[in-house]
Structure 1
Amino acid sequence: MTSACPGGDRGHDAAAFPDDADDDTPIPALRLVVHPPDHRGWRRVRCDGQSLGTAYRLSDITVFLAATGMENAEDFDLTDPALVDWRGGGPDCWVPVQP
């Protein structure tokens, strides 16, 4: 399995399979950041410092993860705060910010 983040193939995705390591070597955790909604309610999504795109709804993030090569991206828990850093509101917040 490949990593959810571009250029970060770790052999398998540590965030999706934390107990699946072959040895005691710590595997870096996924660093998925969803930025606060902008004036349209759209949210920038970054992984390990690289832009994945702009999400208009929660399902867009799953599409971004699948596009990076993540197997079973639809099963990735976007509500887990250990896996996703939601800034400016959680996964249910897509309300435009008022200027």
Structure 2
Amino acid sequence: MTSACPGNEHEREHEHGSGYGSGGPGSAPRLVVHPPDHRGWRRVRCDGRSLGTAYRIGDIAVFLAATGMEDAEDFDLTDPALVDWRGGGPDCWTPPPV
């Protein structure tokens, strides 16, 4: 299984135990996409670190590529074992009603 947020595996194992983000039972998604803000933009975090603010879904692949992930454009952003979409899924980029 391809995992989100490559790099620093040794550091994460030390901090969270060896099963963290591995997709096994009880593991949490490592990539979190926060709800759209008042502009429809979404904060993206990985292992607690900010990757940036996405204006559209394609931005997330750019963020993952910047972390060193190979084939980031092929990463399955719909896999709930890897991505925690908060406040709407990958198709939700509109601001919340006021």
The 1:82/1:53 distance shift into structure 2, 3 A limit, reads same
Q: Which residue of 2 aligns with 1:40?
A: 39
Aligned residues: 82
In the alignment, structure 1 residue 28 sits paired with structure 2 residue 20: yes
Name structure 2 gaps, 5 residues minimum.
Answer: 11-17, 22-28
SS at match of 1:85: strand
In the alignment, structure 1 residue 84 sits paired with structure 2 residue 80: no
Partners in 1 of 2:74 and 2:48 — Cα distance? 23
Question: 1:97 Cα deviation (Å)?
Answer: 1.5
In the superposition, the TM-score normalised over structure 1's length comes to 0.74
In the superposition, the TM-score normalised over structure 2's length comes to 0.75
Q: Per residue, is there more helix in 1 or in 2?
A: 2
Identity of aligned residues (%): 79
Matches within 5 A, 1:47-86: 47-86=46-85
Conserved? CA contact 2:31–2:45, under 8 Å: yes
Name structure 1 gaps, 5 residues minimum.
Answer: 11-25
